[in-house]
Amino acid sequence: MTAPVIRDAGPADRDDWLRLWQGYLEFYGTALDDAVTAMTWNRIIDPVSAVFTRLALVDDTVAGFATCILHPRTWAVEPACYLEDLFVDPARRGSGIGRALIDDLIAIGRRDGWTNLYWHTNADNAQARRLYDSYNKADGFVRYRLPLQK
Ligand SMILES: CC(C)(COP(=O)(O)OP(=O)(O)OC[C@H]1O[C@@H](n2cnc3c(N)ncnc32)[C@H](O)[C@@H]1OP(=O)(O)O)[C@@H](O)C(=O)NCCC(=O)NCCS
């Protein structure tokens, strides 16, 4: 397979992103209000927002995305990058697209001086963890999460 082209998502990518986004929500067995999806997309394409998305294209077709939030830290002057959503078209998995998306973020982070790139995953997401374990060991932190809305 030719190496994917990785680039920022822009306004013209909405329909391609939406197709993958719906697949991502299905993967997690969830659904979101259309208003939430619309807001997320607007944040992605807003250059002032801390949310950004990198798209992976294979043969000019959008095949995966990584959506991140760049945020300030209390322990460093430079920001850290939280990789919130990573998804590859099921028909394209296992061909290096997920790795290319993470490698791209690492390259941007090194260039721009982020202190680190980090993410969470379910402990039993074996396919994702095979990829993640090739970068580093999980750091042992345990997440506590308190739902605050009924
Ligand atoms: C996790 C995910 C993004 C990986 O994307 P991908 O493009 O399939 O990953 P890659 O092809 O870059 O695979 C990287 C590694 O993962 C492993 N891997 C991925 N798919 C595999 C498969 N079908 N069979 C065996 N190993 C596989 C391999 O170890 C591979 O290592 P290699 O690069 O040395 O060959 C993709 O599986 C996905 O979208 N999953 C559903 C959503 C999800 O779980 N997102 C992450 C939530 S935190």
What average pLDDT does the chain have? 97
Residues contacting ligand 1 via CB (< 6 Å): 27, 86-88, 93-99, 121, 125, 127-128, 130-131
Q: Does 149 reside within a domain?
A: no
Cβ(51)–Cβ(87) below 8 Å? no
Atom number, ligand 1, closest to the C-alpha of residue 101: 12
Q: Does 145 reside within a domain?
A: no
The residues facing 66 across adjacent strands are 54, 86
Q: Domain with 88 in it: what CATH number?
A: 3.40.630.30
Query: Ligand 1: distance of its center to the CA of 74 in Å?
Result: 33
Q: Does 17 reside within a domain?
A: yes
How do residues 38-57 score in pLDDT, each as one tens digit? 999 999 999 999 999 999 99
Judged against a pLDDT cut of 80, whether residue 1 lies above it is answered with no
Structural domain harbouring 71: 5-133
Q: Does 64 reside within a domain?
A: yes
Report the C-alpha gap between 42 and 92 in whole angstroms.
Answer: 26
Helix (H) or strand (E) holding 143: none
From 42, 32, 31, 20, select the one nearest 101 (Cα to Cα): 20
How do residues 14-26 score in pLDDT, each as one tens digit? 999 999 999 999 9
Cβ(119)–Cβ(83) below 8 Å? yes
- Please give the pLDDT value at position 40: 98
Cβ(67)–Cβ(119) below 8 Å? no
- Please give the pLDDT value at position 53: 98
Tokens of 11: 């306004």
Average pLDDT over residues 115-127: 97
pLDDT band for position 2 (50/70/90)? confident
Q: How many domains does the chain divide into?
A: 1
DSSP state string for 113-131: T-S-EE----TT-HHHHHH
Q: Does 147 reside within a domain?
A: no
DSSP state of 39: H
Q: Does 106 reside within a domain?
A: yes
- Please give the pLDDT value at position 76: 98
Q: Does 73 reside within a domain?
A: yes
Q: Given ligand 1 and candidates 1, 127, 132, 133, which is best to mutate, with the most ligand atoms within 8 Å of its CB?
A: 127
